[in-house]
C-alpha cells in the first residue's frame, strides 16, 4: 500500500523522498527491517496466544536426550513467519506483479494446509493430523495453479539474446529453464515432446505443469522433514531463500543478466522485496526458535517455507538447482526414503528389518550418536552456506 501511496505522491506532487520507493534496493531494505520488527513485536503475543489456547507440542518419545523437556512448547509458530512476511509485502511491493501474486497465494495456501494439520494434531488429539492424502491434494492443487499461471500468464516471459550475445531483443513466452554447470545451459521442457512433430510444442504444458506439481510437493515435504530440531529448518531456509533472492536480482536486471550471460526475466526483480521480507521473518522467528526453543514453527511454517522456496526457484528458472541449493532438505528427505526402503527390503528378504541410520531423518541420526542439537544445527547451517556458494558459482562456472 505504501508503494502505491508514494508512487501517487511522486507523480502528483513531486513529494520529497517519495521517489525512494521506486528503488528496489530501498524497498528491500525497508522490507527486511519491517519484517524483523513485525516478527519481534508479534512474536511474544503469538507465543502467549498459543500458550493461552494450549497449542503445545505433544512430543513422541523417540529416546533422544532432552526430548521430553520440549513437551508443551507452543507450536504453530509459523504464523509469525506468515504475518512477518505478508505485512511488509502488502505495504512495499507492486501487488499487480504476477510473481508477487503467486508468492502471496503460496504463503497463504500452504500456511492454511499446515495450520489445519497442526490444529488437528493438537486440539483434536489426532497424532496423524491432516490425512496424508488431503495434504498431498492441497500441495498438488497449489502446484497445478502455479504451473498454469507460469505457463499461460502473458507477463511470465523471458528475453533472449539474439545469436547468443548482445542486447536482449526478443521477448517471448517460454518453458525454458537453466541447467547448472553447462555452457549452453538452457533447457526447454517442450523438447520432451518435440520428437512428435511440428506444432506439438504447443502442448508443452503437459510436461511443464506436472514438473511444477512435483517440485512444489517435493520441496514442501522436504522442508517439513527438516523441521525436527530447534533452528534447523528456519536457518537453512533463510540461506536458500537469500540465494534465490540474489538470482532474482540478477535475472531481473538487464545489465547484470547481459554481463553474466544469464536468462533475463522481465518483472521478476520485484521478487527481491518479497525475499527480503521472508528472510527477515525467518530470522525474526529464529530469535524465538533457537535452542532452547520458545516456539516451534509446526507444519504451518515448514510447509509454507517449502512452498515458497519451490515457487521462487521456478520463478527465477533455477528449479534444477534445487537439489544443490536445498541440499539439506534433499539429504533429509533422501535419508527417510533410504531408511524406509532398506527396512522393507531386509524385512521381506530376511524376515527382520534392518536400518541404515540409527534414526531418520538424518538430524536424528546424529542426535542418537550423542551430538548436541545446537552443534548439529550449526554444522547443517555451514553445509547450507557452502551449498549456497556453490549455487552462486554456477552463474559463471559452465
pLDDT computed for residue 301 by the predictor: 95
Set of cell numbers at residue 27: 524497498
Q: Give percent of the chain above pLDDT 90.
A: 60
Torsion sign, CA atoms 276, 282, 284, 287 = negative
Q: Is the pLDDT of residue 182 over 80?
A: no
pLDDT computed for residue 295 by the predictor: 92
Measured in whole angstroms, how far is the alpha carbon of residue 92 from the centre of its chain? 20
Identify the band that residue 164 occupies on the pLDDT scale cut at 50, 70 and 90. low
Identify the band that residue 122 occupies on the pLDDT scale cut at 50, 70 and 90. confident
3-state class of 161 per DSSP?
Answer: strand
pLDDT computed for residue 9 by the predictor: 80
> For 209-255, how does the pLDDT look when each residue is reduced to its tens digit (9 = 90+)?
999 999 999 999 999 999 889 999 999 999 999 999 999 999 999 88
> For 274-286, how does the pLDDT look when each residue is reduced to its tens digit (9 = 90+)?
999 999 999 999 9
CA distance 255 to 258: 5
pLDDT computed for residue 165 by the predictor: 55
Cβ–Cβ under 8 Å, residues 280 and 274: no
pLDDT computed for residue 257 by the predictor: 87
Q: Is the pLDDT of residue 131 over 90?
A: no
Residue 179 CA neighbour count, 13 Å, CB half: 8
Radius of gyration of the chain measured on its C-alpha atoms: 22
Taking residues 21-49, report their average pLDDT: 91
Taking residues 328-334, report their average pLDDT: 95
Q: Is 46 exposed, middle or buried (0-12, 13-18, 19+ CB in 10 A)?
A: buried
Set of cell numbers at residue 395: 552463474
pLDDT computed for residue 58 by the predictor: 65
CA distance 103 to 274: 8
3-state class of 264 per DSSP?
Answer: strand
> Per mean pLDDT, which range of 105-109, 219-223, 260-264, 308-312 is the poorest?
260-264
CA 266-272-275 angle, to 5 degrees, is 135
Q: Is the pLDDT of residue 195 over 80?
A: no
Q: Is the pLDDT of residue 326 over 80?
A: yes
Question: In the chain, where do the E strands start and end?
Answer: 158-161, 168-172, 176-178, 186-188
> Per mean pLDDT, which range of 81-90, 264-273, 286-295 is the poorest?
286-295
> For 84-121, how does the pLDDT look when each residue is reduced to its tens digit (9 = 90+)?
999 999 999 999 999 999 999 999 999 999 999 998 88
Taking residues 183-207, report their average pLDDT: 80
CA distance 247 to 257: 10
pLDDT computed for residue 64 by the predictor: 65
> Per mean pLDDT, which range of 40-44, 324-328, 341-345 is the poorest?
40-44
> Per mean pLDDT, which range of 143-157, 316-330, 349-363 is the poorest?
349-363
Q: Is the pLDDT of residue 172 over 70?
A: yes
Set of cell numbers at residue 293: 526453543
Amino acid at each position: 500500500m505504501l508503494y502505491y501511496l508514494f508512487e501517487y505522491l511522486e507523480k502528483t506532487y513531486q513529494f520529497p523522498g517519495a521517489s525512494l520507493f521506486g528503488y528496489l534496493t530501498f524497498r528491500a531494505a525497508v522490507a527486511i527491517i519491517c519484517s524483523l520488527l513485525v516478527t519481534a513485536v508479534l512474536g511474544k503475543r503469538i507465543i502467549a496466544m498459543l500458550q493461552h489456547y494450549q497449542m503445545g507440542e505433544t512430543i513422541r518419545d523417540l529416546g533422544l536426550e532432552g526430548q521430553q523437556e520440549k513437551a508443551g512448547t507452543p507450536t504453530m509458530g509459523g504464523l509469525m513467519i506468515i504475518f512477518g512476511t505478508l505485512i511488509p509485502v502488502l505495504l512495499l511491493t507492486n501487488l499487480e506483479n504476477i510473481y508477487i501474486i503467486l508468492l502471496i497465494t503460496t504463503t497463504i495456501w500452504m500456511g492454511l494446509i499446515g495450520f489445519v494439520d497442526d490444529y488437528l494434531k493438537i486440539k483434536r488429539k489426532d497424532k496423524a493430523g491432516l490425512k496424508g492424502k488431503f495434504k498431498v491434494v492441497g500441495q498438488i492443487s497449489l502446484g497445478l495453479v502455479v504451473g498454469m499461471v507460469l505457463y499461460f500468464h502473458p507477463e511470465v516471459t523471458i528475453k533472449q539474446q539474439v545469436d547468443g550475445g548482445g542486447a536482449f531483443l526478443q521477448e517471448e513466452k517460454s518453458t525454458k529453464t537453466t541447467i547448472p554447470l553447462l555452457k549452453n545451459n538452457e533447457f526447454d521442457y517442450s523438447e520432451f515432446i518435440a520428437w512428435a512433430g511440428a506444432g506439438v510444442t504447443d502442448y508443452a504444458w503437459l510436461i511443464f505443469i506436472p514438473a511444477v506439481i512435483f517440485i512444489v510437493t517435493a520441496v514442501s515435504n522436504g522442508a517439513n522433514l527438516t523441521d525436527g530440531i530447534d533452528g534447523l529448518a528456519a536457518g537453512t531456509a533463510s540461506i536458500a531463500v537469500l540465494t534465490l533472492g540474489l538470482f532474482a536480482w540478477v535475472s531481473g536486471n538487464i545489465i547484470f543478466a547481459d554481463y553474466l550471460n544469464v536468462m533475463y526475466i522481465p518483472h521478476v526483480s520485484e521478487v527481491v522485496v518479497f525475499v527480503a521480507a521472508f528472510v527477515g521473518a525467518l530470522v525474526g522467528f529464529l530469535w524465538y526458535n533457537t535452542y532452547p526453543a520458545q516456539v516451534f514453527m509446526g507444519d504451518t511454517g515448514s510447509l509454507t517455507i517449502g512452498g515458497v522456496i519451490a515457487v521462487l526457484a521456478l520463478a527465477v528458472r533455477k528449479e534444477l538447482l534445487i537439489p544443490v541449493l536445498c541440499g539439506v532438505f534433499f539429504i533429509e528427505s533422501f535419508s527417510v526414503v533410504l531408511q524406509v526402503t532398506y527396512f522393507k527390503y531386509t524385512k521381506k528378504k530376511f524376515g527382520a528389518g534392518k536400518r541404515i541410520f540409527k534414526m531418520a531423518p538424518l538430524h536424528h541420526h546424529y542426535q542418537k550418536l550423542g551430538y548436541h542439537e545446537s552443534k548439529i544445527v550449526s554444522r547443517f547451517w555451514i553445509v547450507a552456506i557452502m551449498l549456497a556458494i556453490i549455487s552462486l558459482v554456477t552463474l559463471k562456472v559452465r
